[in-house]
Structure 1
């Protein structure tokens, strides 16, 4: 009996190891998201980096005029940046993951592409973009403001990881809730707004009243920001940070989603 002919593309995909296939799908989705959001030119991605970078710098300059002396260190620009970078990373990853299925609905008709691939690709793209923004922003402020830092890369990387995992968990769960309950998108927008004021972007956990600290500790963003500041300020004590607590919340929400 003659062998049954097969389509070369299908057979090669089937023969390829699953982990390698998943990586190829993720890479293709990341490139597609880059083209969709930033265009095919290098200038498009540069603008994607410059936009959040410029927004953070403008807000930092504005607040530094009113609050000249930061709670720790000598530069309010640097103090604000160490709070705003992890907060923005969390927000961008959460928003990207929440809208991943809707923005990639056409690609989900292919059996090789799953909703989880779309969610992870969007989160990875935001993580890479904010990493570039953070490197440029921190380096620029250190040079311009002549800031002396005690850099601990492990703590900074841990803060980035916690912000990304928390954003991925919240975004994945919201991706499901937005689909089943469209009204939840409006409710979540209202609930999410106070986080900017109560997460420690403008103050430190240690400077808050003891009664408020007991409540603030349960906000994982305050711990993420505290870990980031501990990675740049050697004298800052961040003993209250529990990476197990933050990773546990993020991964639990991700599994539920």
Structure 2
């Protein structure tokens, strides 16, 4: 039925034979009956279950779960819709196409949503901050960011010792893979601009992963903290700023550790310009935050855009200069690739660390792209701030 306000809720678990989540009845008379439609045909119905605690601490949410017959499970490519049987209002985020990546994305999103206990801890921490009249606005802002950084630190590395190990292993896997490809092509022993191939690839993987990880952490991030926006010290912008900053700091620590490893194994580390490297990383931070603001607004306003963004991300690794430099690209293709700001950032960062390589990336283009991305992101944030905080 056109014009119906969508049901507020989310799917938190999906499989071939079961599908579960929560929904907010929002004043609708109970019991509320939900209908599961697959490829336009009704498959099963269910009645809302027990209340579940929301991020804001109330119990307006209701759990639901669909059970499908073992001989007729969901198949890859099925178009799934959950709606209210009486009015036809559709659950936000539907329809969705059932497949492996979609199921993993739903599970990952559900796992990152704070538990009620974590929300209460954050509330107590924020509430303990002195009143704005007792300190300057910037001091209060810094204290709020500190609280979020501590929460991110515990969330990423406090629950599993393997998290930091994986943060190191992931870029190393990329380096080893690219080095193996060079060996397969018969060029494994050749130095690239006076350094080993693995070190050359590492200088491209670090700035690219800084952007990729920070950008992905922004997708739908503001919706995870809606229960905290009742405090004036907490704004959606703070969440995105902390997540991008945390990813950049993590990659800088990983970069320093592996850089020490290269020195240990005899690699000559003669950085040509540390100041240029730092300026490039700072500019890419601004670019990542601006793009993250835009992406988060898109995901909140149009949840289906998450899949579109995921598709657009995939070719970035191939066109951002991780395993090549700008001067190695044929002239006919180079003009098109130079529109990618990440290519300039990776090239400038690599040029700052290799004294035998003269970077062709444009510092002004990277800086201009970062400023444009930040201005557009702030404009979108200002326009849709109420949607981000759930008002």
**TM over 0.5: same fold?**
yes
Equivalent in the alignment of 1:14 = 133
Runs of 4+ in 1 over 4 A off after TM superposition: 8-11
Equivalent in the alignment of 2:250 = 129
Aligned mate of 2:168, from 47, 53, 59: 53
Equivalent in the alignment of 1:184 = 305
**How many angstroms apart in 2 are the aligned matches of 1:232 and 1:37?**
29
- The alpha-carbon deviation at position 37 of structure 1 amounts to 2.5
- The alpha-carbon deviation at position 131 of structure 1 amounts to 1.0
- 1:177-200 per-residue CA deviation (whole Å, 9 max, x = no partner) reads 101101100001001100000111
**How many angstroms apart in 1 are the aligned matches of 2:147 and 2:275?**
30
**How many angstroms apart in 1 are the aligned matches of 2:162 and 2:281?**
22
**How many angstroms apart in 2 are the aligned matches of 1:10 and 1:166?**
31
Q: Is the 8 A contact 2:218 2:296 kept in 1?
A: yes
Equivalent in the alignment of 1:23 = 142
Which segment is superposed worse, 224-233 or 48-57?
48-57
Equivalent in the alignment of 1:86 = 207
The yes-or-no answer on 1:223 pairing with 2:344 is yes
The yes-or-no answer on 1:255 pairing with 2:378 is yes
- 1:83-133 per-residue CA deviation (whole Å, 9 max, x = no partner) reads 110000001111222332122222223222111111111122112111101
- Higher CA-based Rg: 2
- Which structure 1 residue ranges, 5 or more long, are not aligned? 1-7
**How many angstroms apart in 2 are the aligned matches of 1:47 and 1:154?**
33
- The alpha-carbon deviation at position 9 of structure 1 amounts to 6.4
**Distance change >3 Å, CA 148–CA 22, structure 1 → 2:** closer
Between 1 and 2, higher relative CO (CA 8 Å, sep ≥ 6) is seen in: 1
Question: Larger % of helix: which?
Answer: 1
Question: Larger % of strand: which?
Answer: 2
Equivalent in the alignment of 1:170 = 291
- Which structure 2 residue ranges, 5 or more long, are not aligned? 1-126, 183-187, 381-391
Aligned mate of 1:245, from 368, 381, 390: 368
RMSD of the alignment, in Å? Answer: 2.1
- 1:44-98 per-residue CA deviation (whole Å, 9 max, x = no partner) reads 4x64432121121122123212211354333111111111100000011112223
**Distance change >3 Å, CA 144–CA 178, structure 1 → 2:** same
**How many angstroms apart in 2 are the aligned matches of 1:222 and 1:10?**
42
Equivalent in the alignment of 1:201 = 322
- The alpha-carbon deviation at position 248 of structure 1 amounts to 2.5
Which segment is superposed worse, 215-224 or 69-78?
69-78
Aligned mate of 2:179, from 51, 64, 67: 64
